[in-house]
Structure 1
Amino acid sequence: MASTDGERRFMPVPDGLDGMRLDQAVSRLFGLSRTAAAALVEAGDAIVDGQPRPKSDKVSAGSWLEVTLPPPPGAAVALAPEPVDGLRIVYDDDDIVVVDKPVGVAAHPSPGWTGPTVIGGLAAMGERIATSGAAERQGVVHRLDVGTTGLMVVAKSEVAYSALKRAFKEREVEKRYSAVVQGHLDPLRGTIDAPIDRHPGRDYKFAVVSGGKPSITHYDTIEAFPSASLVDVHLETGRTHQIRVHFAALRHPCVGDLTYGADPTLAARLDLTRQWLHARELSFEHPTSGERVRFESEYPSDLSHALAVLGDGW
C-alpha cells in the first residue's frame, strides 16, 4: 500500500526489481498506478543514486532510490511555522522583508516538498506576511531554486504585494546574480536571447524551446580560471531555471549543476553539491516610499570555497 503522507522515502532497489524500468519499479514498490508512477518520475520525484532519471531507464539492484510520494487527494499544503537554519533577514519594515536564503530551502511549500521554506522560516520568526496570492505562496512575488542561494523579497502588506508583482512583471526590478560556469565564454560579454519552456522529454527540467516564453540573460565575465569562469549575470526576464538553462544551452553549464550537464568530476573536486549560482544583488522601488532600495549578499561558504579552489589552478 502506498504511503499517503507525502514524505520522502529512501531505500536500495531490491534484487527482484533489477533491470526493471524506473517507472515500473516505483509502481511496484509503492502500489501506484503505472500512470501515476510515470508522472512522479517525470516530475523529478524519483531519484536514483542522487540523479533524476528518465522513466524508461533500467534500475540496478542495490542502487539508492529516493522517492517523494504525492500527498493524499485534497491534502492541504502545510503552512506551519518552521525555523530555518541560516535564513537571515537583511531588511525588514511594515511592507517588505528581504531575506538571504540558504541552500536547500524552497521559497514556499508545495506538494511533494517536505523540506524547509522561506515562508515557514519567516512565520517562525514572527513575521506577518501578506495574504495575497495562492494559499501556499502568500506574500511571495518571486522565487529562487532550492539549490540557489541569495536575496529574496517577500511582501508583508497587500499594497506591497500588488506593487512588487507589477514591478517584476514590468521588469522594473534589477536582479543580479553571480555564477561560475564551465569553460570560457565567447564572447566574454554578451546577451542570451532564447525562449524557454518545459523540456520536451523531462518534465523536471526546462530547455531552450522554439515557441517558448521570451527569455533574456545578460552576462559579463569577471574572472577566468583554467576550467571555469566567474560571470556577473543580469536577468531581464525571470523564467524558471533561466540562468541554468541559458548557460547550459551555450555548453557552459553552471559548475555543479548536474541536472543541466555539468561535469561531476569538477563538481567533486570543488566540493560542490549544487549549482554555483548566487542571487547577489536586488534593487527595486520601495512599494510605499517610492525610494530606490538596493541590497547585497555575500557568497556562502560552499561557493567561496569552490572559488578558492579554482583560484589555485583548477
Structure 2
Amino acid sequence: MTKIFNYSVTSEQAKTRLDKLLSDVNPDTSRSQIQLWINLNLVKVNSEDVKANYKCQPGDVIEWTVPQTEPLNIQAENIPLDIVYEDTDLLVVNKPKGMVVHPSAGHQSGTLVNALLYHCNDLSGINGVERPGIVHRIDKDTSGLLVVAKNDIAHTHLSDQMAAKTIERKYVAIVHGEIAHETGLIDAPIGRDPKDRQKMSVVDNGKPAVTHFRVLQHFPDYTYIECQLETGRTHQIRVHMKYIGYPLVGDPKYGPRKTMDIGGQALHAKKLGFTHPITKDWLDFEVEAPEQFKEVLSYIEKMY
C-alpha cells in the first residue's frame, strides 16, 4: 500500500523552499529523505513535478506519495555474486550479462535482488519491496558495475549524487558503423516511443539525457567506444547511439535487423566512482568486460 498526502500552502509559508516546507510539515522525516521523494517524482505541486528548491506560493497544493513498507515476499536465492566491494553501508557488484536487476512481471526469480537477499538481509527499503537496495539499474543484457545501498541513509545520499550528476559511470560498447571522429556528445531528450511503448526514443517532451563518447578502436564497419553518462535514462546509451546512426551490436530492441546474435547488446558498465555516503571518501571501481564481449571484439578485429 502507498499513502497519498495533501497540503495547502499558507500565506505565511510563501516563498519557502519545497523541501524545507515538507520537512517542517513532516518533522519525523529527514530533509534528505524528502529530497529523495522529490527526485523520484513522488512530490507534486498543483499536479506538476517540481524541484526541491521550488519556492512555494500561497494556495499551492502539495501532494506527496509515500510507499509503505510491506513484508518482503521475494525469495532469497543462493546465486553467486561477484562482489567488488562491501562495507556496512553499501556494496558494489559486477552484474553478469543475462541477469535482471530486480523482480518484475516475468522475472520473479534469478534476479540480482534475489541473490542480494541471500547474501545480506540489511538492504535499504526506499524503493519498496521489489527493489530493496537498488539505487540505479543496468539492463538485463548489460554487464558491469552497480552500487547497492544497505540502509536508507546510504541510499538517500547515493541518490542525491545521482541527481547531482556527480557519480562517474563509464561504459564500453561495440556499435555498427565506423564513427569518423574521435569524440562526441549527444544531448537529446529521451522518453517513451509514441509508436511502441516497449521502447524508448528521442522525443521532444522527453527527459534531458546527455551521453559523452570517445572512440577506442576503429573498424571499417564497426567502432569500439567508451561512453560516459551525465544522466541515467532508461536504455540511454542504446537509444542515443541509434539516434546518431550507430546502433549497438547485438541489440535486439534498437539494433539493425542484421546484427550479431550474441544474446543482447554489446555493452558493459566498466567504471563506477562516487563519494561514500558516510565516510565521504571517493571510491573508484573498474572491471574488465566479460569474456563474451572480448570474443566479439576479437572476432571483429580478425575480420579486417
Counterpart residue type for residue 134 of structure 1: G
Question: SS at the partner of 2:293?
Answer: helix
1:104-143 aligned within 5 A? 104-143=98-137
1:280 to 270, 275, 282: 270
In structure 1, the gaps of 5 or more residues are: 1-75
Partners of 2:139 and 2:279 in 1: how far apart?
29
User: Does structure 1 retain, via aligned residues, the 8 Å contact 2:179–2:218?
Assistant: no
1:83 to 67, 74, 78: 78
Q: How far did residue 211 of structure 1 move?
A: 1.4
Question: SS at the partner of 1:109?
Answer: coil
Partners of 1:223 and 1:95 in 2: how far apart?
38
In structure 2, the gaps of 5 or more residues are: 1-70
Normalised to the residue count of structure 1, the TM-score between the two structures is 0.71
- 1:183-242 residue CA offsets vs partner (Å, 9 max, x unmatched): 112433110011100011111110011111110000000101232111010001100000
Counterpart in the other structure of 2:230: 236
Give the total of aligned pairs. Answer: 234
Normalised to the residue count of structure 2, the TM-score between the two structures is 0.74
1:29-40 aligned within 5 A? none
1:296 to 270, 286, 291: 286
Counterpart in the other structure of 2:300: 310
Question: SS at the partner of 2:295?
Answer: helix
Q: How far did residue 127 of structure 1 move?
A: 4.9
User: Does structure 2 retain, via aligned residues, the 8 Å contact 1:78–1:109?
Assistant: no
Counterpart residue type for residue 286 of structure 1: H
Matched, 1:224 2:224: no
- 1:76-127 residue CA offsets vs partner (Å, 9 max, x unmatched): 9851112335x31100000001000011111111233234211111112235
1:21-170 aligned within 5 A? 78-85=73-80, 87-170=81-164
Partners of 1:239 and 1:109 in 2: how far apart?
19
Counterpart residue type for residue 137 of structure 1: R
Counterpart residue type for residue 299 of structure 1: A
Question: SS at the partner of 1:251?
Answer: coil
Counterpart residue type for residue 307 of structure 1: L
Counterpart residue type for residue 74 of structure 2: L
Counterpart residue type for residue 83 of structure 2: I
Q: How far did residue 158 of structure 1 move?
A: 1.9
User: Does structure 2 retain, via aligned residues, the 8 Å contact 1:139–1:155?
Assistant: yes
Question: SS at the partner of 1:177?
Answer: strand
**Coordinate RMSD, CA, aligned:** 1.6
User: Does structure 2 retain, via aligned residues, the 8 Å contact 1:106–1:115?
Assistant: no
